[in-house]
Amino acid sequence: MREASVQDVIGALDPVRATRSSDPVCLSVGGYVIEVRCTSPALLAELLRYFQHVISAPAEPDLTVHVLGEVKLPFDIDFADWIREPGKTGRKDAIADLAGGRMVLKVRTGLQFLQSPGWAVAFGPTEDHPNQVINFINTQILNRFQREDWVACHAAAVRTAARGLAISGLSGGGKSTAMLRLMEVAGTRYVTNDRLLVRRTDTGTQALGIPKLPRINPGTIVTNSRLAGLIDEEREEELRNMERDELWHLEEKYDLFIDDIYGPGRISHEAQLTDFWVLNWARDSRAPTAVTKVELRERTDLLPAIMKSPGPFYQTKEGPFWTDRTPLDAGAYLTALEGIQTWEITGQIDFDVLFDAGTALLGDTR
């Protein structure tokens, strides 16, 4: 049997795509317009709710994302496992390179995705896994700007009128908790929770967040009074009664809608980046929390906390798809972050100390 092509897959999906897709919905981020067409009214309603702050008027799209339901391809796809990053275990993604594109399979859920220069299609049990569809849409934004020489940082970020602060984490994590605490500082706006695009220009360092809302752990909820009521009272009480160590390691994610919690107008995905925190603190440390200026070019050991692989969906502007063996370009990150003040956070984990430091930094308009 000959190798399957993108056109073979599109041909098999076309009857569903052509007859069941909704009217288009346009999303705009950083001037990039994505049109979404979905075959499920229920899933479309979830997508509209989630992306409400970036929905734009109908316009000529740069790319259309098709979201279909269950479709059985009339031929087999030979998938191979995508090797995960160090420290991550279990099978997550599998890929199959086709003539003209790539298929990606989410191993645990069975969702399949077609990625090529002209096509972005999700199909399978999409209604059951809306978050993976949301991630696929956001991936198209990441792909577009990385092809224009932006680098993708594994970072949360907030901004004020004068400053932009990104937050990455080494051991211990806590970037989402820190970012949400800083949303209490007067004048701050949410930029992103987990992926931040950055590039250096003649006028400074531009940053662009993707419209991915915070997916937070229970520990973040029960330690932030603002988030009371985000989950039902019975479950919140159970969480408050857990041992601190058990709570810290609990894998249980909740979406946080910024407008619902902090009010309208508190999201701005575009920012001028001025500062970068790297959380290199530890829960078992007895040293006091310290926020120290460092030179990133002299502390390249901090780069692994900042850099993020583009992943299996990324096709370079030269044509080839990213592989699980493609090395990240540390030099590109150092260039993009040139002129940004980097801060290392060390010692014990203390979000009150970090909030005070953030208040002083973001309130400084010099």
**Would you state the pLDDT for residue 364?**
61
Instruction: Classify residue 239: in a domain, yes or no.
Output: no
Instruction: Classify residue 42: in a domain, yes or no.
Output: yes
Instruction: Classify residue 222: in a domain, yes or no.
Output: no
Identify whether residues 169 and 38 lie together within a single domain.
Answer: no
Instruction: Classify residue 134: in a domain, yes or no.
Output: yes
Identify whether residues 262 and 176 lie together within a single domain.
Answer: yes
**Would you state the pLDDT for residue 33?**
97
**Would you state the pLDDT for residue 88?**
67
Identify whether residues 134 and 198 lie together within a single domain.
Answer: no
**Would you state the pLDDT for residue 1?**
41
Identify whether residues 187 and 280 lie together within a single domain.
Answer: yes
Last residue of a domain, one of 120, 146, 172: 146
Number of domains in the chain: 2
Last residue of a domain, one of 94, 124, 146: 146
Instruction: Classify residue 307: in a domain, yes or no.
Output: yes
Identify whether residues 26 and 125 lie together within a single domain.
Answer: yes
In which domain, by residue range, is 38 found?
Answer: 6-146
Last residue of a domain, one of 146, 178, 193: 146
Instruction: Classify residue 178: in a domain, yes or no.
Output: yes
Identify whether residues 141 and 205 lie together within a single domain.
Answer: no
Identify whether residues 106 and 167 lie together within a single domain.
Answer: no
Identify whether residues 157 and 112 lie together within a single domain.
Answer: no
Identify whether residues 210 and 121 lie together within a single domain.
Answer: no
Identify whether residues 80 and 208 lie together within a single domain.
Answer: no
Identify whether residues 115 and 178 lie together within a single domain.
Answer: no
Identify whether residues 49 and 171 lie together within a single domain.
Answer: no
Instruction: Classify residue 241: in a domain, yes or no.
Output: no
Instruction: Classify residue 90: in a domain, yes or no.
Output: yes
Among residues 173, 348, 191, the alpha carbon closest in space to that of 275 is found at: 191
Identify the CATH number of the domain in which residue 204 sits.
3.90.228.20
**Each residue's pLDDT tens digit in the chain (366 positions)?**
457 899 999 999 988 877 777 788 999 999 999 999 999 999 999 999 999 999 999 999 999 999 999 999 999 999 999 988 766 666 789 999 999 999 999 999 999 999 999 999 999 999 999 999 999 999 999 999 999 999 999 999 999 999 999 999 975 588 988 999 999 999 999 999 999 999 999 989 999 999 999 988 777 787 788 887 777 778 878 777 787 777 766 777 888 999 999 999 999 999 999 999 999 999 889 999 999 999 999 999 999 999 999 999 999 988 899 999 999 999 999 999 999 999 999 999 999 999 999 999 998 644
- The tens digit of pLDDT for each residue in 4-55 reads 899 999 999 988 877 777 788 999 999 999 999 999 999 999 999 999 999 9
